[in-house]
Amino acid sequence: MRFLLGVLAALLLANAAPAAAVAAPVNTGHLQAELVAAAQGVAPGQSVTVALRQQIQKGWHTYWRNAGDSGEPTSAEWILPAGWTASDFTWPTPHRLPIGPLVNYGYEGEVLLPLTVSAPAGATPGQTATLTAKARFLVCAEVCIPEDATLTLALPITAGPAPADPQWGAKIAKVLADAPKPAGLTGTFEKQGEAVKLAITGAALKGADVAGAYFFPFSGTAIDHARPQAIERGPEGLTLTLAPGYDFQTAGPKAIGGVLALDGRAYEVAARPGPLPPAAAGLGPPPARVAVPAAAANLGLLGAAAFALVGGLILNLMPCVFPVLAMKAASLAGHGGEHAAARRQGLAFGAGVLVTFLALAGLLIALRAGGAAVGWGFQLQDPPVVAALALLMLAVALNLSGVFEIGTSLQGVGSGLASRGGLAGSFFTGVLAVVVAAPCTAPFMGTALGWALGQPPAAALAVFLALGIGFALPFVAVAFVPALIERLPRPGPWMDVFKKLLAFPMYGAVAWLVWVLTVQAGPDAVPRILAAAIVLALALWIAGAAQRRRVQGQPHVALAGLAAGLGAVAVAGGAFWPAYGVAPAEAMGAGFAALDEEAYSPEKLAALQAQGRPVLVNYTAAWCVSCQVNDRVALSTTGVSEALKRNNAAYLKADWTKRDAAIAAELARFGRAGVPLYLVYGAKGGEPAILPSLLTQGVVVKALDAAGRS
């Protein structure tokens, strides 16, 4: 009986689950380190994955195998039983860590560095092997502190395959699955002038979203880590434009190895020098991305459409729409108590608004899909468009002043657009209102557009349609309310005076657009656009003379032809001269420079934050009237100037008047499709406070004071 009990006990012990691997965590000061195993043991002659786990204190970081511009990678010296071996670490994809003007590569939070530990065939089951690692870390925040720890792991030796560790098995498996691996990619690099072009092709990149692509080199001297990496797509891969490092000061390296990181994926790449393959480029940069802000993350289509509707209503009150209000007022006054005519005018205006909103939205979506870093109001980022719009506004103003007439309707403000009842003129007024209003961003509107531009085209167009409905609604509603129509004065001789008076807001719009043009194309654009304006005015005056002769029964074809020719010359010259052969005027500034401002760049922002200074960043553009009003009313004030000095805060201006991919990317990161955007970073770093689109001095001062304390 005693013998049977002994046999039974031996069988139970032989089939019992092995004891879990036991580690001893160590707190080094700014992180907690330990060795953890993916399995509860290892059989003789087999291998097990062990990981060096770091739980890093918030605000601190450790480094990747290539630390970047500074730093030192984590290392470990292994002390193992006889016959046991340990591989090198498998390094997870790192993060970029900007530190002032430098960029480092490393990790924050929890990080597992896996490696393979192999047991000798002669290991004895039932025993426990003690693995020891003398780990060294460089842990950094604003300062760097070398820390070390002696870590141990008691690993059971099992007779057969050991089960996965319930706590660490799945985590380590995920780290290994996500770690960079070879994927059959072919890399080629070539130095071109002051840049290095790195072309990478392969099946894994064909048709892939490469918008977030970044190359982490294994060598710390291959590239300048702090410089941005421009991306160009190709049908079979991509080409990165890199800033060369120390290795290129001589003959250049014979190979460049590293990790190509995309969103959620990473691949090991080994590149050789040589001619770049055509299939790695030619499709332009990847489409700009829009990150949905926290306020809009859970909006959904209906919520975004509601925000857009309210934003469209408020857009009618924005300063950029004031010039077009003149034409709206003239239209309503021209119909007095004629309800049916007013309703037709209202519907025509609404149709013009909706068609133009959808057309601009469709073009914006197409441009972004093609890789252009554009946002709402993009049409005013091109000098030819600004020049042509200025000349169009001048033509509208001269028409209102009576220099020439097109049709008999006060709304006939576009060549050939007037028709019976002036419906085409009303439609064109809606078109012009949208073109002029588009650069403005009203409250609620920015959140809705930020959500829309991150969605499929159908959802995005639905949100833009709601925005257009909100913008057109007040004018259309007034046209359909008899009580309001009845209050308007009857048509009469007074309307001619009223019409001429309303020309002056249009002249003001011309002056504003000319100023925008000078910011974009430089001071040489002023005489050119003014010369085009004079020629256009002469052409329209001649056209008016020809019209008066025709009314008197004396048609003069030569005058009409001369007017058409001069008009074509004016528009062509005004639209194209400013865009070609004119040097940018960086020295002109953005108008009202009461504050001690500096030009924005990601590197400048990082450097100021590294100094522990609060930072106010103003994302603006000369063509954004709301931006200019905020600048005059709220920013360029004594109160804000004193708050900046009191809190030792810096003021950065991100000028988006001309297209800038870096600024577009930052706008997208905060879920904005256009300007204005105002961010205030605290002295201790962290995420910035986002100020409202309509500023007051008090809002800015309060935010700066709070940033100085946080």
Q: Which tens digits make up the pLDDT trace of 183-200?
A: 899 999 999 888 899 999
pLDDT of residue 330 exceeding 50: yes
Q: CA angle 144-150-153, nearest 5°?
A: 130
pLDDT of residue 108 exceeding 80: yes
pLDDT on residue 650: 93
> Within this chain, do residues 376 and 229 fall inside the same structural domain, yes or no?
no
Phi, psi of 655 (to 5 degrees): -85, 115
Cα 497 to the chain's mean position, in Å?
48
> Within this chain, do residues 339 and 486 fall inside the same structural domain, yes or no?
yes
pLDDT of residue 137 exceeding 80: yes
Q: For residue 135, give its domain range.
A: 16-177
Residues 95 and 62 sit within 8 Å (Cβ to Cβ): no
pLDDT of residue 578 exceeding 50: no
pLDDT on residue 74: 94
Strand, helix or coil for residue 420: helix
pLDDT of residue 5 exceeding 50: no
**Pairing verdict, β 47-56 and 31-37:** antiparallel
Residues in a beta bridge with 346? none
Angle formed by the axes of helices 457-479 and 300-315, nearest 10° = 40
Q: CA angle 288-291-292, nearest 5°?
A: 140
Residues in a beta bridge with 491? none
Instruction: Please indicate whether residue 348 or residue 48 has the higher confidence score (pLDDT).
Output: 48
- Which of 213, 248, 280 marks a domain boundary? 280
> What domain count does the chain have?
4
Per-range mean pLDDT, top range of 172-176, 393-397, 667-671: 172-176
Instruction: Please indicate whether residue 331 or residue 435 has the higher confidence score (pLDDT).
Output: 435
Place of tokens 């129509």: 485
What the block records as the tokens of 465 is 């349609």
What mean pLDDT is predicted for residues 320-328? 56
Average model confidence (pLDDT) for the chain? Answer: 76
667 within some domain: yes
Q: CA angle 470-473-476, nearest 5°?
A: 160
CA-to-CA distance for 144 and 135, rounded, in angstroms?
16
pLDDT on residue 285: 80
Place of tokens 């309509």: 694
Residue 179 binned pLDDT confidence (cut-offs 50, 70, 90): very high
Burial of residue 458 (number of CB atoms within 10 Å: 0-12, 13-18, 19+)? exposed
Residues 112 and 175 sit within 8 Å (Cβ to Cβ): yes
pLDDT on residue 595: 79
45 within some domain: yes
- Which of 247, 280, 313 marks a domain boundary? 280
CA-to-CA distance for 41 and 165, rounded, in angstroms?
9
Phi, psi of 44 (to 5 degrees): -55, 135
pLDDT on residue 188: 94
pLDDT on residue 544: 74
**Lowest mean pLDDT, pick from 350-354, 368-372, 395-399:** 368-372
- Closest listed residue to residue 226, CA positions, set 656, 604, 686: 604
Per-range mean pLDDT, top range of 80-94, 278-292, 363-377, 589-603: 80-94
> Within this chain, do residues 138 and 254 fall inside the same structural domain, yes or no?
no
Residue 498 binned pLDDT confidence (cut-offs 50, 70, 90): low
- Closest listed residue to residue 258, CA positions, set 225, 210, 236, 232: 225
> Within this chain, do residues 417 and 509 fall inside the same structural domain, yes or no?
yes
- Closest listed residue to residue 627, CA positions, set 676, 561, 563: 676
**Lowest mean pLDDT, pick from 333-347, 402-416, 604-618:** 402-416
pLDDT of residue 109 exceeding 80: yes
pLDDT on residue 405: 67
Residues in a beta bridge with 272? 188
> Within this chain, do residues 221 and 201 fall inside the same structural domain, yes or no?
yes
What the block records as the tokens of 103 is 């960029």
586 within some domain: no
Instruction: Please indicate whether residue 523 or residue 96 has the higher confidence score (pLDDT).
Output: 96
pLDDT on residue 455: 66
User: How many CB atoms lie under 10 A from the CB of residue 698?
Assistant: 11
**How far, CA to CA in Å, does 299 sit from each of 264, 330, 451, 694?**
25, 39, 8, 22
Strand, helix or coil for residue 182: strand
**Pairing verdict, β 597-599 and 650-655:** parallel
> Within this chain, do residues 536 and 402 fall inside the same structural domain, yes or no?
yes
pLDDT on residue 233: 86
What mean pLDDT is predicted for residues 26-34? 93
List, in sequence order, the alpha helices (H) in 167-240. Answer: 169-178
What mean pLDDT is predicted for residues 483-504? 63
Please give the DSSP secondary-structure letter assigned to residue 580. Answer: S
H-run or E-run covering 549 = helix 525-551
Residue 503 binned pLDDT confidence (cut-offs 50, 70, 90): confident
- pLDDT tens for 615-666 read 999 998 776 666 777 887 788 888 888 889 899 999 999 988 777 778 877 8
pLDDT of residue 15 exceeding 50: no
- Closest listed residue to residue 319, CA positions, set 630, 617, 651: 630
Instruction: Please indicate whether residue 567 or residue 34 has the higher confidence score (pLDDT).
Output: 34
Burial of residue 699 (number of CB atoms within 10 Å: 0-12, 13-18, 19+)? middle
Q: Whole-model pTM?
A: 0.48
**Lowest mean pLDDT, pick from 122-126, 268-272, 590-594, 685-689:** 590-594
The dihedral built from the CA positions of residue 162, 20, 108 and 75, taken in this order, carries a sign that is negative
Residue 674, domain CATH? 3.40.30.10
CA-to-CA distance for 164 and 48, rounded, in angstroms?
10
Counting residues of the chain whose pLDDT is more than 70, the rounded percentage is: 72
CA-to-CA distance for 33 and 693, rounded, in angstroms?
46
> Within this chain, do residues 497 and 602 fall inside the same structural domain, yes or no?
no
pLDDT on residue 409: 34
pLDDT of residue 407 exceeding 80: no
471 within some domain: yes
CA-to-CA distance for 498 and 308, rounded, in angstroms?
34
> Within this chain, do residues 680 and 617 fall inside the same structural domain, yes or no?
yes
**How far, CA to CA in Å, does 417 sit from each of 211, 335, 408, 412, 427?**
43, 19, 11, 6, 9
Residue 411 binned pLDDT confidence (cut-offs 50, 70, 90): very low
> Within this chain, do residues 199 and 168 fall inside the same structural domain, yes or no?
no
Residues 510 and 387 sit within 8 Å (Cβ to Cβ): no
pLDDT on residue 290: 47
Residues 125 and 162 sit within 8 Å (Cβ to Cβ): no
What is the DSSP track for 335-389? HTT-HHHHHHHHHHHHHHHHHHHHHHHHHHHHHHHTT----TTGGGGSHHHHHHH
Residue 42, domain CATH? 2.60.40.10
pLDDT on residue 129: 93
pLDDT on residue 657: 75
> Within this chain, do residues 507 and 422 fall inside the same structural domain, yes or no?
yes
CA atoms within 13 A on the CB side of 355: 13
454 within some domain: yes
Residues 247 and 222 sit within 8 Å (Cβ to Cβ): yes
- pLDDT tens for 139-150 read 888 667 888 999
Q: Which residues of 319-329 are buried (b: 16+ CB within 10 A; e: fewer)?
A: ebbbbbebbbb
pLDDT of residue 324 exceeding 70: no
What mean pLDDT is predicted for residues 299-307? 76
CA atoms within 13 A on the CB side of 644: 19
What is the DSSP track for 235-291? SSEEEEEE-B-GGGGTT--S-EEEEEEETTEEEEEEEEESPPPGGGSSS-SPPPP-P
- pLDDT tens for 238-251 read 999 998 988 888 77
List, in sequence order, the alpha helices (H) in 66-118. Answer: none
**Lowest mean pLDDT, pick from 367-376, 444-453, 480-489, 525-534:** 367-376
> Within this chain, do residues 220 and 139 fall inside the same structural domain, yes or no?
no
> Within this chain, do residues 307 and 252 fall inside the same structural domain, yes or no?
no
Residue 204, domain CATH? 2.60.40
pLDDT on residue 34: 95
- Which of 177, 197, 222 marks a domain boundary? 177
584 within some domain: no
pLDDT of residue 221 exceeding 60: yes
3 within some domain: no
**Lowest mean pLDDT, pick from 10-14, 516-520, 695-699:** 10-14
What mean pLDDT is predicted for residues 430-440? 67
User: How many CB atoms lie under 10 A from the CB of residue 8?
Assistant: 10
